[in-house]
Amino acid sequence: MLEKYQNYIVAAILAVMFAVSVLVSSGDAAIMDEVAHIPAGYTYVKYGDFRLNPEHPPILKDLAGIPLRLLNLSFPTQDDLWTKNANDQWIAGWKFLYMPENNTEQMLFWSRFPIILLSLLLGFVIFKWAKELFGVKAGLLALALFALDPNILGHNHYVTTDLGIAAFSVFAFYFFLKYLKNPNWKTIVLAGIFLGLAQLAKFSAVLLFPIFGLALLIRIFFRNDKIKKSFLGSLKFKRFWLQKFWLYGTSFALILVICFAMIWAVYEANTFRMPTEKIHQLIDTQLYGGSKNVASPPLHKMADIPVLRPLAQYFTGFFMVFGRVAGGNTTYFFGQVTNQSFREYFPIVFLIKEPISTLILLLISISVGITMFLKSFSPARGEMPRPWRGGGVGAKKIWKNVKNYLDRHITETTMLLFIALYAYVSVTGNLNIGFRHLFPILPFMYILIAKEITVLGTRLAKNTRKYYFATVAVLLLWLAAGTAFAYPYYLAYFNEMIGGSKNGYKYVTDSNVDWGQDLKRLEKFVDENGIDKIRVDYFGGGDVKHYLGDKAVIWHADSGQEPGWYAISATFLQNSLWYKITEGKPDYQWLREQEPYANIGHSILIYKIK
Contact 158, 41 (CB under 8 A): no
Question: Using CA atoms, how far apart are residues 144 and 153, in angstroms rounded to an integer?
Answer: 12
Burial 205-237 (b: 16+ CB within 10 A, else e): bebbeebbeebbebbbebbeeebeebeeeeeee
267 in a structural domain: no
pLDDT tops 50 at residue 527: yes
Mean pLDDT of all residues in 377-381: 58
pLDDT at position 565 is 97
pLDDT at position 387 is 47
- Cα–Cα–Cα angle for 422, 427, 430, rounded to 5 degrees: 110
88 in a structural domain: no
221 in a structural domain: no
pLDDT tops 70 at residue 241: no
Mean pLDDT of all residues in 358-375: 91
592 and 520, same structural domain? yes
pLDDT tops 70 at residue 465: yes
Contact 447, 177 (CB under 8 A): no
583 and 476, same structural domain? no
pLDDT at position 542 is 96
Contacts of 396 (CB under 8 A, 6+ apart): none
Contacts of 176 (CB under 8 A, 6+ apart): 191, 194, 195, 212, 215, 255
Question: Using CA atoms, how far apart are residues 21 and 487, in angstroms rounded to an integer?
Answer: 10
449 and 573, same structural domain? no
pLDDT at position 232 is 61
- How many helices (H) and strands (E) would you count in the chain? 25, 7
What's the domain count of the chain?
3
Which of 267, 294, 327 is at the close of a domain? Answer: 327
List strands edge to edge, sheet with 598-600. 552-554, 534-537, 564-569, 604-609, 598-600
Q: Residues 77, 79, 85, 87: is their CA dihedral positive or negative?
A: negative
Weakest mean pLDDT among 213-222, 239-248, 358-367, 382-391: 382-391
Mean pLDDT of all residues in 510-520: 97
The range of the structural domain enclosing residue 283 comes to 276-327
Instruction: Please give the share of the chain, as a percent, with pLDDT higher than 90.
Output: 80
Which range of 374-378, 400-404, 429-433, 535-539 scores highest in mean pLDDT? It is 535-539
pLDDT tops 90 at residue 227: no
pLDDT at position 173 is 98
Q: Among residues 182, 170, 193, which one has the least CA distance to residue 257?
A: 193
Mean pLDDT of all residues in 212-231: 81
46 in a structural domain: no
Which of 486, 518, 550 is at the close of a domain? Answer: 486
pLDDT tops 80 at residue 538: yes
185 in a structural domain: no
pLDDT tops 50 at residue 99: yes
pLDDT at position 392 is 46
Burial 160-193 (b: 16+ CB within 10 A, else e): bbbbbbbbbbbbbbbbbbbbbeebeeebbebbbb
Contacts of 357 (CB under 8 A, 6+ apart): 475, 476, 478, 479, 482
Mean pLDDT of all residues in 372-384: 64
Contacts of 284 (CB under 8 A, 6+ apart): 290, 291, 296
Q: Among residues 405, 385, 404, 409, which one has the least CA distance to residue 395?
A: 385
Q: What is the pTM of this model?
A: 0.94
555 and 530, same structural domain? yes
pLDDT at position 339 is 85
pLDDT at position 362 is 98
553 and 480, same structural domain? no
445 in a structural domain: yes
Q: Among residues 129, 130, 116, which one has the least CA distance to residue 194?
A: 129
Question: Using CA atoms, how far apart are residues 489 and 517, in angstroms rounded to an integer?
Answer: 9
Which of 422, 455, 486 is at the close of a domain? Answer: 486
pLDDT at position 375 is 76
Confidence band of 400 (pLDDT split at 50, 70, 90):
confident
Confidence band of 389 (pLDDT split at 50, 70, 90):
very low
Mean pLDDT of all residues in 501-506: 96
pLDDT tops 80 at residue 225: no
428 and 373, same structural domain? yes
pLDDT in tens, 242-271: 778 888 999 999 999 999 999 999 999 999
Contact 34, 98 (CB under 8 A): no
pLDDT at position 390 is 45
516 and 441, same structural domain? no
582 and 518, same structural domain? yes
Mean pLDDT of all residues in 509-533: 97
pLDDT in tens, 10-42: 999 999 999 999 999 999 999 999 999 999 999
Contact 180, 230 (CB under 8 A): no
pLDDT tops 80 at residue 272: yes
pLDDT in tens, 153-200: 999 999 999 999 999 999 999 999 999 999 999 999 999 999 999 999
**DSSP labels for 302-358?**
HHTSGGGHHHHHHHHHHHHHHHHHHH---EEETTEEESS--TTHHHHHHHHHS-HHH
- Cα–Cα–Cα angle for 370, 372, 376, rounded to 5 degrees: 115
pLDDT at position 378 is 64
pLDDT at position 412 is 94
pLDDT at position 233 is 60
Contact 601, 486 (CB under 8 A): no
Question: Using CA atoms, how far apart are residues 289 and 292, in angstroms rounded to an integer?
Answer: 5
Contacts of 307 (CB under 8 A, 6+ apart): none
pLDDT tops 50 at residue 506: yes
Contact 232, 253 (CB under 8 A): no
Confidence band of 340 (pLDDT split at 50, 70, 90):
confident
Contact 323, 282 (CB under 8 A): no
- Is there a cis peptide before residue 100, judged by omega within 30 degrees of 0? no
Question: Using CA atoms, how far apart are residues 609 and 595, in angstroms rounded to an integer?
Answer: 11
Q: Among residues 341, 339, 299, 303, which one has the least CA distance to residue 320?
A: 299
508 and 451, same structural domain? no
pLDDT tops 90 at residue 111: yes
Helices 356-375, 462-486: crossing angle, 10 deg rounding? 150
375 in a structural domain: yes
Question: Using CA atoms, how far apart are residues 179 and 201, in angstroms rounded to an integer?
Answer: 22
Mean pLDDT of all residues in 563-589: 94
Instruction: Please give the share of the chain, as a percent, with pLDDT higher than 70.
Output: 93
pLDDT at position 234 is 60
pLDDT tops 90 at residue 239: no
Confidence band of 391 (pLDDT split at 50, 70, 90):
very low
pLDDT tops 90 at residue 231: no
Q: Among residues 144, 159, 245, 263, which one has the least CA distance to residue 208?
A: 263
Mean pLDDT of all residues in 213-239: 74
pLDDT tops 80 at residue 404: no
Question: Using CA atoms, how far apart are residues 539 and 569, in angstroms rounded to an integer?
Answer: 6
436 and 379, same structural domain? yes
Confidence band of 541 (pLDDT split at 50, 70, 90):
very high
pLDDT at position 448 is 97
pLDDT tops 80 at residue 327: no
Mean pLDDT of all residues in 461-469: 91
295 and 399, same structural domain? no
Contact 344, 426 (CB under 8 A): no
pLDDT at position 223 is 77
Q: Among residues 493, 517, 522, 487, which one has the least CA distance to residue 505?
A: 493
577 in a structural domain: yes
Average pLDDT score, the chain: 92
475 and 362, same structural domain? yes
Contact 418, 207 (CB under 8 A): yes
